[in-house]
Amino acid sequence: DPYSAEPTRHPALQINSLKPFNAEPPASILSDNYITPSVIFFKRNHLPVPRVDPEAYRLEIEGLPGGVVSLSLSELKSRFPKHTITATLQCAGNRRSEMNEVKQVKGLNWGIAAISNATWSGARLRDVLLSYGFGPEVAAKAKHVQFEGLDKDVTGTAYGASVPLNKAMSEEGDVLLAYEMNGEDLPPDHGYPVRVVVPGVVGARNVKWLGKIVVSDEESKSHWQQNDYKGFSPGTDWDTVDFKSAPAIQELPIQSAITHPAEGTSVDRSDGEVTVKGYAWSGGGREVVRVDVSVDGGKTWHVAQLRTSDQEQHPAPPPPPGRAWAWKLWEIDVPIPQRAQELEIVCKAVDSSYNTQPDTVAPIWNLRGVLSNAWHRVKVKVSE
Ligand code: MTE
Ligand code: MO
């Protein structure tokens, strides 16, 4: 069994698939922590978890003038400054289940919690490439940086992805070869000993168990870069889809969802108000600037309080423009409307480019069920 060496997992995780292991935390606990504890951070594996010996580990780098570089874990840790960022990872398939309700899509039936937030520490990819000869000649030809995992399928094909070279090399890109998550060694499920963290970019490009980096004029040839993780029109079906016709997803669109109260629960009229909580995040380093909440299906709106750390009294300093990699948690007490017997609670976020979320799912439905970011709606009863 290729899955015989899987790590043990936290029992609270809601399992979507066991082999490979895919799981998300219950939505109700997701917003309890600004920094998601690693044990409940969502886990998305396409293949068995490779168990890597840190002494034998080598990171190979190709495509630089000096030839192939081979770097040990201790060299990666000692030769380059350690840089720490707080960044949210979201799977392209987060909230796919809402697309399935419109019409069947292909993919894991994620709820709203295929997204989590952590601190990541490691070497800047930029520093590593510069130190091994990245310069104007390479920059003139190369357009992408490809990543290969040490996890392989039965044919020996590794998980792979790529990101644009300008993201990888930008001083403001904050792309890390991360060896720590939340202040500890990366857990096996999250890429031990090294993963690339590409903040602001879809989870799929944040390659875990990183074995190889290739600076190239081409995107990764992997299935996941070429024939998956792309968006299409609601009118495109499996008979007509041409994966070459759409770009690979990189930066994700604005997103928000309600973590509390839960669908189908009830609120007491005598409380006078309902407390609504959730998360909001946008891709590409765009900062969430506002979250609007409605309890009447979107007729009237209220502005939620945003939170940027685990201690409400000590908000994090605002991120530099274009480098808002971390989510915001939000909360608001909304008066319960007088005669309402049921509340349709809705949230939508706005980012620093004034992008906001579409109001319904149908117009953004797509056959792979990715990029699901419509207004999130939760219905609750009002009990007298
Ligand atoms: N990297 C490797 N090597 N293998 C994988 O299966 N899954 C990708 C990405 N990196 C994957 C990978 C996908 S689709 C996502 S959403 C994120 O890892 C999930 O990261 P997490 O498990 O740390 O939450
Ligand atoms: Mo993903």
pLDDT of 315: 83
83 is written with which tokens?
């840089």
142 and 219 belong to one structural domain: yes
Residue carrying structure tokens 């056959």: 367
21 and 118 belong to one structural domain: yes
ipTM of the complex: 1.00
From 245, 264, 289, give the residue that closes a domain.
245
From 245, 272, 287, give the residue that closes a domain.
245
Residue 65 CA, ligand 2 centroid: distance in Å: 33
Q: What is the pLDDT of residues 131-187, one digit of tens each?
A: 999 999 999 999 999 999 999 999 999 999 999 999 999 999 999 999 999 999 999
Kindly report which listed range (36-50, 306-320, 335-349) carries the lowest average pLDDT score: 306-320
The whole-number average pLDDT for the span 205-214 is 98
172 and 260 belong to one structural domain: no
Q: Is the dihedral of CA 249, 177, 310, 43 positive or negative?
A: positive
More confident residue, 91 or 313: 91
CATH number, position 189: 3.90.420.10
The whole-number average pLDDT for the span 52-63 is 98
Whether residue 4 lies inside any domain: the answer is no
Whether residue 250 lies inside any domain: the answer is no
Q: Residue 357 pLDDT > 90, yes or no?
A: yes
**CA distance linking residue 211 with residue 322, whole number of Å:** 29
Residue 92 CA, ligand 2 centroid: distance in Å: 5
The whole-number average pLDDT for the span 99-118 is 97
* Residue 176 C-alpha from the chain's centroid: 15
170 is written with which tokens?
């930008």
Number of C-beta neighbours around residue 354 at 10 A: 10
What is the CB-side half-sphere exposure of residue 53 using CA atoms within 13 A?
2
Residue carrying structure tokens 């594996």: 45
**CA distance linking residue 273 with residue 308, whole number of Å:** 24
Going by the DSSP 8-state scheme, the letter that residue 102 receives in this structure is H
Whether residue 6 lies inside any domain: the answer is no
Atom from ligand 1 closest to the CA of residue 116: 24
* Structural domains counted in the chain: 2
119 and 177 belong to one structural domain: yes
From 245, 272, 296, give the residue that closes a domain.
245
241 and 262 belong to one structural domain: no
Q: What is the pLDDT of residues 82-100, one digit of tens each?
A: 999 999 999 999 999 999 9
Cis bond upstream, residue 65 (ω within 30) = no
Residue carrying structure tokens 């890429």: 191
233 and 268 belong to one structural domain: no
**CA distance linking residue 73 with residue 60, whole number of Å:** 11
What is the CB-side half-sphere exposure of residue 184 using CA atoms within 13 A?
6
| Residues 7 and 188: beta-carbon distance below 8 Å | yes
pLDDT of 93: 98
pLDDT of 154: 93
CATH number, position 319: 2.60.40.650
User: Which residues make up the environment of ion ligand 2, defined by Cβ < 5 Å?
Assistant: 44, 91, 203-204
Residue 24 CA, ligand 2 centroid: distance in Å: 12
Q: Which domain holds residue 311?
A: 255-383
Q: What is the pLDDT of residues 364-380, one digit of tens each?
A: 999 999 999 999 999 99
Find all residues with CB under 8 Å of 64, minimum gap 6, and list them.
129, 132, 133, 134, 138, 215
Q: Residue 312 pLDDT > 80, yes or no?
A: no
Find all residues with CB under 8 Å of 88, minimum gap 6, and list them.
115, 116, 117, 199, 281, 325, 326, 327
* pLDDT band with cut points at 50, 70 and 90 for residue 53: very high
Atom from ligand 1 closest to the CA of residue 150: 3
| Residues 9 and 23: beta-carbon distance below 8 Å | yes
Whether residue 9 lies inside any domain: the answer is no
57 and 203 belong to one structural domain: yes
Instruction: Give the ligand with the smallest distance to the CA of 147.
Output: 1
226 and 262 belong to one structural domain: no
Residue 325 CA, ligand 1 centroid: distance in Å: 17
Q: What is the pLDDT of residues 224-276, one digit of tens each?
A: 999 999 999 999 999 999 999 999 999 999 999 999 999 999 999 999 999 99
Percent of the chain with pLDDT over 90: 97
166 and 93 belong to one structural domain: yes
Residue carrying structure tokens 């990366």: 186
pLDDT of 314: 83
